[in-house]
Amino acid sequence: AAPAGDVTDPAVVDFPLRQPGVPFPPPDYADYRNRPGLVLTHLPDGKRVWLVTRHEDVRAVLTNPKISSNPEHEGFPNVGETAGVPKQDQIPGWFVGMDSPEHDRFRKALIPEFTVRRVRAMRPAIERTVEARLDEMLAAGNTADLVADYALPIPSLVISALLGVPPTDRDFFESRTRVLVSLRGSTEEQRMTAGKELLRYISRLISIKEKWPGDDLVSRLLANGAIAPHELSGVLMLLLIAGHETTANNIALGVVTLLTHPQWIHDDRAVEETLRFHSVADLVSLRVAVEDVEIAGQLVKAGEGIVPLVAAANHDESVFECPHQFDPSRSARSHVAFGYGVHQCLGQNLVRVEMEVAYRKLFERIPNLQLDVPVDGLGIKYDSVLYGLHELPVRW
Ligand code: HEM
């Protein structure tokens, strides 16, 4: 249970929280959860921020109106490089960084695009995309890097289909988004260039859809009128970035977990448990207090940054029994891997289908899939905002 009461002497811990050789989520998270109040850390820029680790407290932070998502507020946490993510003031429509009521207009316009029904209608297209990747992989030999060859292209191709990018442009789109999210193997300059090229492409796509509307998300949003065309580019960039590496990391990590827990390979419940178990977006839901506020008995002053750690919340033993066990038979639905409250992930219905199709088709087509390196030799992304793998060598 969350200890409460005035905490005058909070613990201070080192950042980064992810370290080579230490499993993720770090065992230290359990220690933070058991301390009264909150824990402090210093980010690379020297700023002090509060870490929130208990499930109940993470949800309280993410629903508190005195706490903002707007990175323009003084004190907003800067946890490190988020590959090619544009600054909000350079890109209107970046609504994940807005608060209510400004945020509501965008959210309301986007919700109908991501309903269970709408996503169900996309399933055949997702299946075709996944099958095509597998055809290419199988034609190329009996080894692959499942990150580069499978996990990264799938979400990018799915998002380009969602946006109505014509099939002939999807390779361009996929190659640019790949540069954008690869912190290794590309320079900052290359990432900035890729970001600009995509933004330019997206603006062109919007003008084309203005003239020749089709049955796609961009045309529908233009017809709806709630979002102005100049804001729409930011919205589309957000969809692209928010849904790319997050999904790819879950696909790749999930494959490793299924290979090491093969009894769950053909069980669709593995999707929800993978989301909880890996919690790749541990450092994503960043916030800042805009008024003094009390969280778990700790006074957080206006202007202080807050980092709700969703991996810590998703491994809170007061909510999930034996949290470090991968057990798809548990009820994982109350996890906060997609955040919580008004900014909770818009793409979650889509991701669930993408992950399910990605696992099912992979193991159907390649039943003898094996890791080509020992599990403890896998290149973990310790240095990026999202938890994931740099590469995943496999053979069959
Ligand atoms: C928001 C995680 C995939 C679109 C979020 C947030 C999290 C998250 C934690 C909350 C951010 C916050 O609180 O500040 C994930 C994970 C994914 C995933 C783990 C994959 C497994 C996607 C996909 C899309 C998407 C595929 C769309 C194509 C968005 C958008 C928001 C968001 C638009 C902002 C919502 C708002 O501010 O109202 N996501 N996401 N995400 N996600 Fe996802």
Which atom of ligand 1 sits closest to the CA of residue 106?
A: 38
Which atom of ligand 1 sits closest to the CA of residue 98?
A: 37
Which atom of ligand 1 sits closest to the CA of residue 355?
A: 21
| Cα of 157 vs its chain's centroid, Å | 17
CB-ligand 1 contact for 345 (6 Å cutoff)? yes
Q: Look at the block and give the residue holding tokens 């009128």.
A: 225
CB-ligand 1 contact for 93 (6 Å cutoff)? no
CB-ligand 1 contact for 134 (6 Å cutoff)? no
Query: What's the rounded mean pLDDT across residues 65-79?
Result: 94
CB-ligand 1 contact for 280 (6 Å cutoff)? yes
pLDDT in tens, 342-385: 999 999 999 999 999 999 999 999 999 999 999 999 999 887 88
Dist CA 52 CA 27 (whole Å): 15
Which residues touch 269 (CB under 8 Å, ≥6 apart)?
Answer: 328, 329
pLDDT in tens, 82-132: 544 555 556 899 999 999 999 999 999 999 999 999 999 999 999 999 999
pLDDT value at residue 183: 66
Instruction: Return the structure tokens found at 51.
Output: 């870490």
CB-ligand 1 contact for 287 (6 Å cutoff)? no
Strand partners, 23: none
Consecutive H or E run containing 164: none
Query: What's the rounded mean pLDDT across residues 26-32?
Result: 96
CB-ligand 1 contact for 61 (6 Å cutoff)? no
Q: 382 C-alpha to center of ligand 1: Å?
A: 21
CB-ligand 1 contact for 77 (6 Å cutoff)? no
CB-ligand 1 contact for 350 (6 Å cutoff)? yes
CB-ligand 1 contact for 384 (6 Å cutoff)? no
Which residues touch 370 (CB under 8 Å, ≥6 apart)?
Answer: 259, 394, 395, 396
CA 378, 25, 261, 361 torsion: positive or negative? negative
Residue with the nearest Cα to atom 35 of ligand 1?
Answer: 343
pLDDT value at residue 185: 73
Average pLDDT, the chain: 93
CB-ligand 1 contact for 122 (6 Å cutoff)? no
| 253 touches 389 (CB < 8 A) | yes
CB-ligand 1 contact for 156 (6 Å cutoff)? no
Query: What's the rounded mean pLDDT across residues 230-237?
Result: 94
Which atom of ligand 1 sits closest to the CA of residue 344?
A: 10
Residue with the nearest Cα to atom 14 of ligand 1?
Answer: 285
Query: What's the rounded mean pLDDT across residues 15-36?
Result: 93
Residue with the nearest Cα to atom 1 of ligand 1?
Answer: 345
CB-ligand 1 contact for 95 (6 Å cutoff)? yes
Residue with the nearest Cα to atom 42 of ligand 1?
Answer: 345
CB-ligand 1 contact for 250 (6 Å cutoff)? yes
pLDDT of 69 higher than 90 = yes
Confidence of residue 6 (pLDDT cuts 50, 70, 90): low
CB-ligand 1 contact for 41 (6 Å cutoff)? no
pLDDT in tens, 132-170: 999 999 999 999 999 999 999 999 999 999 998 998 998
Closest C-alpha among 333, 335, 286 to residue 314: 335
Q: 385 C-alpha to center of ligand 1: Å?
A: 14
Mutate to test the pocket of ligand 1, among 345, 346, 355 (most ligand atoms within 8 A of CB): 345
pLDDT value at residue 1: 41
Residues 34-46 as b/e (b if ≥16 CB within 10 A, e otherwise) read ebbbbbbbebeee
Greatest CA separation found in the chain?
63
3-state secondary structure of 294: strand
Residue 168 CB-density burial (10 A; 0-12 exposed, 13-18 middle, 19+ buried): exposed
Confidence of residue 192 (pLDDT cuts 50, 70, 90): confident
